[in-house]
Amino acid sequence: MNKREIGRSGVSVAPLALGGNVFGWTADETASFAVLDAFVDEGFDLIDTADCYSYWIPGHKGGESETMIGRWLKKSGKRGKVTLATKVGIEFGGRGGLGREHIVRSVDESLRRLGVDRIDLYQAHRDDPKTPLEETLTAFCELIRAGKVRALGASNYEAPRLAAALAASSALGVPRFDCLQPCYNLCERSGYETALEPLCRREDVGVLPYYGLASGFLTGKYRTPADLAGRARGGHVQKYMNARGFKILAALDEAAAELGAKPASVALAWLIARPGITAPIASATSVAQLADLAAGARLHLPAATIAALDRASA
């Protein structure tokens, strides 16, 4: 499978990333281990998580996803086959932000939960305007020099702040953010395409879009309010259930029928075909779901199909 570079970092990955937010949340240990094994066996490598997953669940403290992945790594012995990405900065447990003290403490906690001695891609989970960029970037540089982190990324940064961070890295002579995680999918395009996309392409910043399937809406399994009953992400999906959203689903259904594929596979293939995209992030709670994601990474969309999806989601 062809690999794609994460910016200028020298880290190359297959064109699909596995979202780890579900591990220890909607996927128990048995399901999590099965999905992780299948993901690697399919030839993929980038597993993305965060230190805060899944603190929002009653009884959880955060770190559940990293801990689950760490247990799987120990049991499977597959550390050498994966590229590990995690994030820091979301406030939970009374701490957060991108100050030096929190970053330095948090990376050690993540390393311990993951059971590894180095994180391949360490990302600022969201912008922290209260902390000077110079402090954040210098702290990240310390981690790279200490061998605890291989490359850096940012998540949820707006274009002006990402540009400022890149400029600050250059001025300081420290490693830069080599990738960005924006929210980007067929339902949510303008936030990325308007300003972030041209910036990332110009600066050679890799792009790992999250919510690639719009919280599951683009799989086609949510078509009526009744479909949302009892679903963990029902609140996220409801905002897509409008005339535009159903127009996108209709276009996905048509493309899927023509190509003999699933709507989820087509939606991911559309993202992968977009210039500048390194690897979309998608989650799976079962091996069957993962099969649809893997199929999307291998699906070639004809130009006419891409154009039809572009029109439907414009």
235-to-228, 261, 297 alpha-carbon distances in Å: 8, 27, 28
Q: What is the Cβ-side half-sphere exposure of residue 18, based on CA atoms within 13 angstroms?
A: 33
Instruction: Give 197-200 contacts, CB < 8 A, sequence gap 24+.
Output: 197/276, 199/159, 199/162, 199/163, 200/162, 200/276
18 φ/ψ angles, rounded to the nearest 5 degrees: -95, 120
Active site residue 53: yes
Determine contact, residues 248/217, Cβ cutoff 8 Å: no
157-to-93, 94, 129, 149 alpha-carbon distances in Å: 23, 23, 10, 20
Indicate which residue of 53, 122, 157, 222 is catalytic.
53
The identity of residue 184, as a single letter, is Y
Start-to-end CA distance of the chain, whole Å, equals: 31
Q: Do the bridges between strand 206-207 and strand 119-124 make them parallel or antiparallel, or are there none, so unpaired? A: unpaired
Q: Report the candidate in 64, 159, 156, 73 with the shortest Cα–Cα distance to residue 120.
A: 73
Alpha-carbon distance of 204 to 285, in angstroms, equals: 33
Catalytic residue numbers, as ranges? 53
